Amino acid sequence: MKRCWLTLGRKDHISELDASATPGWRGGAARARKQTDGLRDQLLGLQERLFAESRQKLLVVLQAMDTGGKDGTIRRVFSGVNPNGIRVARFGRPSELELAHDYLWRAHARVPERGQIVIFNRSHYEDVLVVRVNSLVPEQTWRRRYAHIRDFERMLVDEGTTILKFYLHIDRDEQRERLQARLDEPSKNWKFDEHDLVQRRKWDDYMLAFEDAIRETHTDEAPWYIIPANRKWFRDWAVMSILVDALGRMDPQYPKPDFDPGSIRVE
Amino acid sequence: MKRCWLTLGRKDHISELDASATPGWRGGAARARKQTDGLRDQLLGLQERLFAESRQKLLVVLQAMDTGGKDGTIRRVFSGVNPNGIRVARFGRPSELELAHDYLWRAHARVPERGQIVIFNRSHYEDVLVVRVNSLVPEQTWRRRYAHIRDFERMLVDEGTTILKFYLHIDRDEQRERLQARLDEPSKNWKFDEHDLVQRRKWDDYMLAFEDAIRETHTDEAPWYIIPANRKWFRDWAVMSILVDALGRMDPQYPKPDFDPGSIRVE
């Protein structure tokens, strides 16, 4: 596959990665959208086989700053997939019941079952991101969570789940424009949350938190993809490409019948 | 709305209702498919507003005989809806944990939250259908469940859920053809389950069970729609029509901001 994500080298800082880049893509937006539509047809076929096979599982983790495009990516990449075989799990502010458990509890409860694709819209990573930036737990607590998360994800992979983790990377200017648009366009007002402005002031802290989280939990079995996401058409194409590539490698198969279809006549 | 379902009169038997009928529709399959696509655009807009409003809930119950088209209806009616706001709950053979609770427990756990559409692919109705036909509990047990179900659904409606219940009605000949197709077409073999043939022999018992269930639990607040489903294009159009009509009556609105959007500038 052509590389369509950014790599975080040992000395790189996320804030220095170009959020408007289009790695692996030559050509404009229109061609990317068309190719994304073509890939969606492949996705639909692969998903049907995954569902029929009912053996493997796919977990897609989406993380981003506010306005980074998590909802939009889900709408644009996954609309059209048979709702029977796909589920979105949203991780908002934890409930009392969730807070009364360890932080992985609510994530574990929502991982995919056989044959399913589950998309985590935010995830257990919030517990080393928003929780860290806002000092909701001491450093020693969030710091040891990287190891928990690696262990948790390795277990899921060992037990038959493929994990793809996407960080949708926008820059500070892009976020300003998108937040302002939520104020300026009445049909988008409902998406605006004043709390987002508070978090925006902590931009640099978030970049550092993402950087550490990605570095510490990027593994061969559960890799992170840093998707430049200022350009929505590129973001959609990149996520779709990685997804279709991964499903292709999973290579789900229609199960062989354990009976002889030719020997049965329905009366 | 033009009526696009069948009505079960006091003396009617479900088995006598014409599963190939197309009530309320004049014109062929092609025109119906086109109109269904147009209605889907309306559905997408209404669903977005339901999600934004985050106040009302919609529960769609799908029941049918094997091969009746539950999966196909979900695929064809709901594909394209933003996966963020829709969820399918499948009710298969109950697990040990589910059997250790009352029969409504697993259904209640999966009802929609605010702003969401949830589709029950099978449902709590299995506990007065398959359970009755196969004598898994005594008659006095399944018979009193009608009242439980009415009470349960009324509570959901009182608390802000709209409920639409669809029985997809095929006839015995149509089921034979569809089961046979699952044997004859290799790509469909995976859908074939020999157990379905056992249930097929109990066709008349199932019709009676559906008839009683629909009659006993058809209420103003949680109505049943009997959809003639031999013709898939009609089934899809009818379900889509009823759905769009119901969402239109729910009339979800973008919430009014509780701040003055013009007074805020994003820095």
- At residue A58, the 3 state secondary structure works out as strand
For residue B240, the tally of other CB atoms under 10 A from its CB is 24
Q: Which residue has 């700053």 as its token pair?
A: A65
pLDDT at B2 over 80: no
Query: Do the beta carbons of residue A212 and residue A142 sit within 8 Å?
Result: no
Q: Tens of pLDDT along B238-255?
A: 999 999 999 999 999 999
Choose the closest CB to B254 out of A75, A187, A262: A187
Q: How confident is the model at residue B29 (pLDDT cuts 50, 70, 90)?
A: very high
pLDDT at A107 over 80: yes
How distant is the Cα of A201 from the closest Cα of chain B, in angstroms? Answer: 9
Cβ-based contacts of A86 with chain B (< 8 Å): 83
Asked if B266's CB is within 8 angstroms of A183's CB, the reply is: yes
Q: Percentage of residues in chain A with pLDDT exceeding 70?
A: 100
Question: How does the average pLDDT of chain A come out, rounded?
Answer: 96
Mean pLDDT of B21-25: 95
pLDDT at A239 over 80: yes
Query: Do the beta carbons of residue A6 and residue A243 sit within 8 Å?
Result: no
How distant is the Cα of B147 from the closest Cα of chain A, in angstroms? Answer: 30
pLDDT at B87 over 80: yes
Cβ-based contacts of A256 with chain B (< 8 Å): 189
pLDDT at B1 over 70: no
Measured CA distances, B173 to B20, B67, B68, B170, B203 (Å): 11, 12, 12, 8, 11
Asked if A90's CB is within 8 angstroms of B83's CB, the reply is: no
A–B interface: beta-carbon pairs under 8 A: 107
What is the set of domains in chain B, with CATH numbers?
A: 40-172+205-249 (3.40.50.300)
Q: In what order do the strands lie in the sheet with A224-228?
A: A86-90, A117-121, A57-64, A161-169, A224-228
Q: Tens of pLDDT along B133-187?
A: 999 999 999 999 999 999 999 999 999 999 999 999 999 999 999 999 999 999 8
Mutate to test the interface with B, among A84, A195, A197 (most CBs of B within 10 A): A84
Mean pLDDT of A170-178: 97
Per-residue pLDDT, A226: 98
Choose the closest CB to A194 out of B82, B187, B259: B259
Per-residue pLDDT, A13: 95
pLDDT at B258 over 90: no
Q: How confident is the model at residue B38 (pLDDT cuts 50, 70, 90)?
A: very high
Q: Which of A17-21, B141-145, B187-191 has the lowest mean pLDDT?
A: B187-191
Enter the tokens of residue B166.
């669809």
Per-residue pLDDT, A1: 67
Per-residue pLDDT, B151: 97
Q: How confident is the model at residue A80 (pLDDT cuts 50, 70, 90)?
A: confident
Kindly report whether the global pTM for this prediction surpasses the value 0.90.
yes
Choose the closest CB to B121 out of A84, A119, A190: A84
Cβ-based contacts of B87 with chain A (< 8 Å): 83, 87-88
Per-residue pLDDT, B231: 98
Q: Looking at this predicted complex, what is its ipTM?
A: 0.90
Q: Which residues of A touch B (CB under 8 A)?
A: 52, 71, 74-75, 78-84, 86-88, 90, 119, 121, 176, 179-180, 183-184, 186-187, 189-192, 194, 197, 200, 254-257, 259, 261-262, 264-267
Q: Tens of pLDDT along B51-78?
A: 999 999 999 999 999 999 999 999 999 9
Helix axes B232-250, B70-78, angle to 10 degrees: 60
- Nearest residue to A169 via CA among A23, A19, A9, A8: A19
